[in-house]
Structure 1
Amino acid sequence: MKLTKLFSVFCAGVLLASSACAFDRNALVLMTDFGTSDGAVSAMRGVAYGVDRGLYVSDLTHDIPDYDIWLGAYRLYQTANYWPVGTVFVNVVDPGVGTSRKSVVLKTAAGRYFVGPDNGLFTLIAERDGVAELREIDEKVNRLAGSAESYTFHGRDVYAYVGARLASGAITFEQVGPVLPSASVVRIPYQKAVREGGVIKGIVPVLDVKYGNVWTNIPKALFEELQIGVHDKVRVRFLHKGRKVAEVVAPFEHTFGGVAKGKPLVYLNSLLEVAVAISQGNFAGQYKIGSGVDWEVEVTKAAGK
């Protein structure tokens, strides 16, 4: 009986120690444009587990369209702050892999880490969250052993390896490599949301691809300056490279159920930014709306209820 109790206490101690070790690690989150039809993502995961089998590795998405750096930047903006401070994001949308573009780790003011190519992927994170420090990865010491002659898979050979070492505590941020000027982060230029009299201008940064809802970068606070209440009519114009593509007048509603099925509405999305949808329909598909820095939007208050 005494041996049984001792064994139980020993096992409980081992479990508690294992749990404590797990909490000492930070999550590792992967985002790529690789898709999952081949072994690329699995190879990155394998490298991470080779560093530390106890790591928690998750996926943001691997369905970024090929080479779409802007969309990668937006998906980070959309999701990063819902992960705990200390989380390490490994990001690979890298059409310039193997060229002179820098490989970096960006630490935000809050203390999250972003590993990847300095090619614009960190545009929105740097803008919203601030850059506490930026370091260039020293590949002489921070690269998967035996990968020196591989030039086209930095996601596996450099970023997953460095990200896993950071998340596991095998290296400190200071051991990543030399400090770079914080202001040197490469940024993609785009139209910030601004109000000019009774018109708010912005862009369509992304589509809610599953349902065809059209998101804008116009925040709630700026939209409220137009003094638009629930059920008030809103006029929204969509332009592509300066040419008008579509225009719609629709009520501002809190929920999709605020209008009948098949009718358009303006609402605040989950990031509290202005969006346009068709209730149980596909607005982007019906009105032929795309997304990106060259898709502009203009929002005004329309007459009537």
Structure 2
Amino acid sequence: MRIIYGLILLLFLLTKPFAQAQNGIVVFQSDFGLKDGAVAAMKGVALDVSPNLKLFDLTHEIPAYNIWEAAYRLYQTVPYYPKGTVFVSVCDPGVGTERHSVVLLTKSGHYVVTPDNGTLTLLAEHLGISEIRQINEAINRRKNSNESYTFHGRDVYAYTAARLASHTIRFEQVGQKLPNEVVRLPYQKAESTKGVVKGNIPVLDVQYGNVWSNIPKAMIDQLGIKPGATLRVQISQNDKLIYDKVVRWVNTFGEVSVGDDVAYINSLLNFSVAVNQGNFSEKYKVFSGPDWTISVSK
């Protein structure tokens, strides 16, 4: 009986990481755009591994080489997918260099196949690192692709993700285990001191030009400002003041006139500013990235 229990326990331990990749979903993100066949090529490689995979797109409109935005879009999206989903993120200006190609398993049970170039900054911080492995390209690389040095998204990442999601390989077969640390991009974290809340502009609500911050609603609440009241918003890039105005904080855009500046809480429950039915980013030349800072006070 002890032998049977021992075998059951051993089987559980051996299949635990494997079981977290059971859903067969692969989600792609890149800065490739959709003007050519790059995205389709990655999906073709994945389907060639297993035609039973379920393939989805996060976005392929990451601005070229913008690792920071790739990091944010993963943070914005990954938690909403089932455990075991495999993400492929390719924003890789250093393709072919010595940066590591890795698969991260978050503490939430999601896999991310990507270059370790800062793309994992926010996932590591918010979801945590359960384990990280370097892709062994001697095993996990598309056949006859060794002479290609500039399309790891197709030849390494899509191929490895498909093999993992389709159960062709176990997580341990990705490659050697690495220390639980990733390359991290520095940025202004949300903080509150002496009646001023300060944070970063990680990304724009690009369709409308709204400016999203990483300042949670709870920090604004601590200022004692109620919706309908006004607050002061200052925006800087590398310590150069770009915007400094008093605006109304509201629950909905309909509470102000068309063309008015407005402060609100976005869908991620973070502080944001906009021009009602206008484009805040274009109007004030405010953009996003680790070098942008936003401050809020009474």
TM superposition score normalised by structure 1: 0.89
Shift of 1:26: 2.4
2-side partners of 1:162 and 1:282: how far apart?
40
1:283 corresponds, among 271, 280, 283, to: 280
Residues 25 and 169 in structure 1, CA contact (< 8 A), matched pair in contact too: no
Does structure 1 residue 31 correspond to structure 2 residue 6?
Answer: no
Residues 22 and 165 in structure 2, CA contact (< 8 A), matched pair in contact too: no
Q: What aligned pairs does 1:221-240 form with structure 2 within 5 A after superposition?
A: 221-240=218-237
Shift of 1:24: 4.6
Shift of 1:284: 1.4
SS of aligned partner of 1:182: coil
- 1:263 match: 260
Shift of 1:251: 1.3
Letter in 2 for 1:202: G
- 1:199 match: 196
Residues 33 and 60 in structure 2, CA contact (< 8 A), matched pair in contact too: yes
RMSD of aligned alpha carbons: 1.1
- 2:94 match: 96
- 1:298 match: 295
1-side partners of 2:123 and 2:255: how far apart?
33
Does structure 1 residue 188 correspond to structure 2 residue 185?
Answer: yes
How many percent of aligned residue pairs carry the same amino acid?
A: 55
Letter in 2 for 1:177: G
- 2:153 match: 155
- 2:57 match: 59
SS of aligned partner of 1:148: coil
Residues 130 and 180 in structure 2, CA contact (< 8 A), matched pair in contact too: yes
2-side partners of 1:276 and 1:38: how far apart?
35
SS of aligned partner of 2:102: strand
State which structure, 1 or 2, has the greater radius of gyration over its C-alpha atoms. 1
Alignment size in residue pairs: 278
- 2:210 match: 213
SS of aligned partner of 1:275: strand
SS of aligned partner of 2:112: strand
Residues 200 and 298 in structure 1, CA contact (< 8 A), matched pair in contact too: yes
Residues 23 and 85 in structure 2, CA contact (< 8 A), matched pair in contact too: no
Residues 136 and 180 in structure 1, CA contact (< 8 A), matched pair in contact too: yes
- 2:130 match: 132
2-side partners of 1:173 and 1:119: how far apart?
21
TM superposition score normalised by structure 2: 0.91
Which stretches of structure 1, 4 residues or longer, exceed 3 Å deviation after superposition?
Answer: none
**Structure 1 unaligned spans of 5+:** 1-22
Residues 64 and 72 in structure 1, CA contact (< 8 A), matched pair in contact too: yes
1-side partners of 2:281 and 2:140: how far apart?
44
